[in-house]
Amino acid sequence: MFEQIRSNRIRSFVLVAFMGAFLVALGWLLGLTFADNGAAGLVVALVIFGILNLVAYFQGDSILLSVAGARKIQQKDHPRLYNVVEEIKIASQLEKMPDVYIIDDQALNAFATGRDINHASVAITSGLLQKLNRDELQGVIAHEIGHVKNRDVLLMAICGVLLGTIVILSYYGSRILLYGGMSGGSRRSSRNSGGGGGVAIIAIVALVLMILAPIFTQLIYLAVSRRREYLADASSALYTRNPEGLASALEKLAASGTPVKNANQATAPMYIVNPFKGRSVNAGELTSTHPPIQERIRILRAMAGNVSYVSYNKAFQQVKHTRAGVMSSQTASLMGETVSAQPPSPEKTSLEPAAEKIERSREVSDLMYRLNDYRTIDCDCGARLKIPPALRGQVVRCPHCGTMHQT
């Protein structure tokens, strides 16, 4: 485990440094283009880069949770979810219970964030909470806590903020350059030195770099995040002793075509599956933020009998038809003990009772009403009225019996 954490830290440093170099290069070229002073642009870029890293480290998780529209809940709000997180926290030997967040979204997805294991959060959508049974929910939560244990969450938070910044700067910088910078710079240079060729060349180079910067950083970001998804899947199988739980959950996530409403290019790799399109099975390896879902399912189901990182590594090699594992054999043998897989639960051997699905829907619905500050009124006819905040202080009629209620 410590070897893997050290490897993650090295990759994190290299990736953040590479993204920072792009940001600094953009600043230098833009300084030459717009102010005829590359050093000024370099200083500004360094200051921005430093501020962004501080913000990403201390507030990156809060920013990402806010962008996702996540709301923090307590055990009393949804005991089933909170208890599952607590169970996986104990199974993974995590020192501190992660904060639990819910996202009001019918898409099926989840992510973890935070700067370290003592400042971690797990967020899941209301749609996922409604559709997954307990075994499947355990598999997803264990996957996300696997990201926390493997020290992935800090890198994802930092890269999410930095990548988003580079994309925004490149977007607006290219348009300023196209619609005013090149001609303005040429006129300025012509007045000062009698020729605008040098400025035009610099402007073109800056434009090319601004176009390539987000592409290169995104490809590197995706290459790192895909491998982390495999490791988090392996961690989930070990913590739950039930690879089928996560495999079944991934099947449901693959079957859902509902995109996450608030997902964007910078936050997409944080989610357990591609948040833009639930059916990401056939996504290419260089264009998808995640490995193919069906491949992940096959690997998990190939872990018959004993569960360990070693058995996951072997299943990975078998499914991928490669001698290279997701980790080295030596690292896999050091990352955790081998345990016996749990037998399938009764609900996996037969159709899930409709009553359980209805109860899950009612739990999630009541939770979202409470989080959105709805007031509940129980009518004498047995109907339960959900009153939105906008109707507070007014009189409403029960649609079933016609009784008037003061809200």
Does pLDDT of 10 surpass 80? no
Pick the range with the lowest mean pLDDT from 95-109, 201-215, 297-311, 334-348: 334-348
Give the pLDDT of residue 146.
93
In a domain, 348, yes or no: no
In a domain, 345, yes or no: no
Boundary of a domain, candidates 309, 340, 371: 340
Instruction: For 159-191, write each residue's pLDDT tens digit.
Output: 777 677 666 766 666 666 666 554 444 444 444
**Whether residues 275 and 392 fall in one domain:** no
Instruction: For 57-67, write each residue's pLDDT tens digit.
Output: 888 889 889 99
In a domain, 349, yes or no: no
Give the pLDDT of residue 59.
85
**Whether residues 402 and 291 fall in one domain:** no
Residue 393 sits in which domain range?
A: 354-406
**Whether residues 156 and 242 fall in one domain:** yes
Pick the range with the lowest mean pLDDT from 124-138, 210-224, 252-266, 354-368: 210-224
**Whether residues 224 and 371 fall in one domain:** no
In a domain, 347, yes or no: no
**Whether residues 154 and 56 fall in one domain:** yes
Does pLDDT of 75 surpass 80? yes
**Whether residues 402 and 255 fall in one domain:** no
Boundary of a domain, candidates 340, 370, 395: 340
**Contact, 302 vs 234, CB < 8 A?**
no
Boundary of a domain, candidates 308, 340, 372: 340
**Whether residues 330 and 365 fall in one domain:** no
Does pLDDT of 257 surpass 80? yes
**Whether residues 14 and 137 fall in one domain:** yes
Give the pLDDT of residue 232.
92
In a domain, 133, yes or no: yes
- pTM of this prediction? 0.81
Does pLDDT of 264 surpass 90? no
Q: Which residue has the higher pLDDT, 32 or 280?
A: 32
SS (H, E, C) the chain: CHHHHHHHHHHHHHHHHHHHHHHHHHHHHHHHHHHCCHHHHHHHHHHHHHHHHHHHHHHHHHHHHHHHCEEEECCCCCHHHHHHHHHHHHHCCCCCCCEEEEECCCCCCEEEEECCCCCEEEEEEHHHHHHCCHHHHHHHHHHHHHHHHCCHHHHHHHHHHHHHHHHHHHHHHHHHHHHHHHHHHHHHHHHHHCCCHHHHHHHHHHHHHHHHHHHHHHHHHHHHHHHHHHHHHHHHHHHHCCHHHHHHHHHHHHHCCCCCCCCCCCCHHHECCCCCCCCCCCCCCCCCCCCCHHHHHHHHHCCCCEECHHHHHHHHHHHHCCCCCCCCHHHHHHCCCCEECCCCCHHHCCCCCHHHHHHHHHHHHHHHHHHCCCEEEECCCCCEEEECHHHCCCEEECCCCCCEEEC
Say which of 136, 144, 229, 244 is annotated catalytic.
144
**Whether residues 332 and 389 fall in one domain:** no
Give the pLDDT of residue 175.
67
Give the pLDDT of residue 282.
44
**Whether residues 326 and 358 fall in one domain:** no
**Whether residues 360 and 315 fall in one domain:** no
Instruction: For 143-155, write each residue's pLDDT tens digit.
Output: 999 999 988 887 7
Predicted confidence band at 7 (pLDDT cuts at 50, 70, 90)? low
Give the pLDDT of residue 339.
62
Average pLDDT, the chain: 80
**Whether residues 192 and 245 fall in one domain:** yes
Q: Is 3 a catalytic residue?
A: no
Give the pLDDT of residue 356.
85
In a domain, 346, yes or no: no
In a domain, 214, yes or no: yes
Does pLDDT of 280 surpass 50? no
How many structural domains are present in the chain?
2
Does pLDDT of 230 surpass 80? yes
Q: At what angle do helices 38-68 and 2-35 cross, to 10 degrees?
A: 130
In a domain, 322, yes or no: yes
